Chain A
Amino acid sequence: MENMNNQYVIGVIVSNISGVLSRVSGMFTRRGFNIDCLTVGETESSGFSRITVVFHGDDDIKERIVRQLEKLHDVKEVEVLDPRETVIRELLLIKVRNTPSTRQDIMTAVEIFRSKIVDYSPTALVCELTGETSKIDAFIELMKPYGVMEMCRTGMVAIERGENCLKTEK
């Protein structure tokens, strides 16, 4: 049996026009596929946006998702990114309680994780961290005992290593 728990990362180049995010996310809803995370942003050319979709499933589901994506008129390019050949990053902003007794421990963790303190107040610290999901998860776990007040993460963005590019030929 296929492993239902494979994680797939798909890069999608779409026309940068209104409604395109609805079309892409709507396809997932309509076809009953679940998304772990989805990010969208500008690309090197203004006419196109890049969507990174992460989901769990088996090979069969992945194929069906790719083919359904390719059918959308606004979708120009779809590629399943091989995790071994891909740089995957996520950004975390996390607000942790700042107390005299915990401050030093937090600072040490921040340093080890190569995180950054981007806001400092007597009662709260905001840390910024980029990295792969596992690193982000580990950092959050580490912060929990100090009191996580609020956090947000961007979801993954991914880009292929080497000179291969995901872009429309036109």
Chain B
Amino acid sequence: MVLARFSKHFNLISSRSLSTVNQDFGLVHVEKQFEAIEPKKRDKDAFMAAIGTFKEKRGRTHVEFINTALKYVKDYGVHKDLETYKSLLDVFPKGKMIPQTVFQKVFLHYPQQQNCAVKVLDEMEWHGVQPDKEIHDIVVNAFGEWNFATKKVKRMLYWMPKLKHSNKYLDRRSVEGLSLTPSELAGIALKMMNRDPATSISLLKFSDSSDPKDKWMATAQSPSQQRLLSELSRGEEVFVDSGLVYVQDNKVPFISLTGSTKLKPLDEFKKEEMDDDYTNWFEDWKKQRIEAKRSYFLSVHQQDHETIFAVGAIFQNDNSTALRWIDQLQKTNPSLGNLQIRVRLDGKPIIS
């Protein structure tokens, strides 16, 4: 009993003395250092400052620090920033961990540190941050030319630029690292979605000074779409639907004006028989001519299941705004007034 009380007392003393140590020498866990900053103030500068103070102290707990810092990259909004990853990897001491002997080279020299470096690089790759020569040099200076962590950065430097521009529909340079307004994003999305090179994309902004909210609408339509729309007979139905498209990690809602396809879809594949049969040559020839004529008039907008007359985007996806978009479209397509327009926007938007 006495012993227990004594030990309790002892614990109290020891904990108190620890807390005083904390205050005096700044012996705080790294996690607390990152936690201490309130969520509003969490940005790149705060993150860099934390790295800076660690470097100043020249502690030995590099791995602990980096692992903790890595947990907070998303919180601080620096997960897509190359400079941050550079300064994180720069925390590792230079030269000390470069293998000198054959055995050090063959086995994982400084395994904790190398695995930690690989983890940082993997996080970087996961967030799609493109490495450069400098980050390679940083790793080389810490771990040597052909070490495990260096191999990782070399692989990234080899493959990531190769696949960086494999997307032919979207130029990532026009999106990445830029803070784009919704209307700018809509323009990029419309350019990405449209398959007709003759399409002209227009943006209309409402100069309504009384309303602080930015109001705009974008339209993408080509001359062949205007022709298709003018060919519709009076009273035919056209539909306004909403959809969603991703421009990298931005979700962009769009609307489309579509109608039913009257032409039977062309066969995409022509079945070729090996043995030529000339008994019905006249019929075949006639059919071939009709097909050729049809394919001449058939545009990309006449899809198998629907004809697309226009694609657009509006500042808010609801029926009333869509009607304003239709009004705007009617200026260039007067035949739209004769058609029955069904607007089906309200409710949850569906992708494409």
Q: Decide whether A and B assemble into one complex.
A: no
Taking Cβ atoms with an 8 Å cutoff, the residues of B that contact A are none
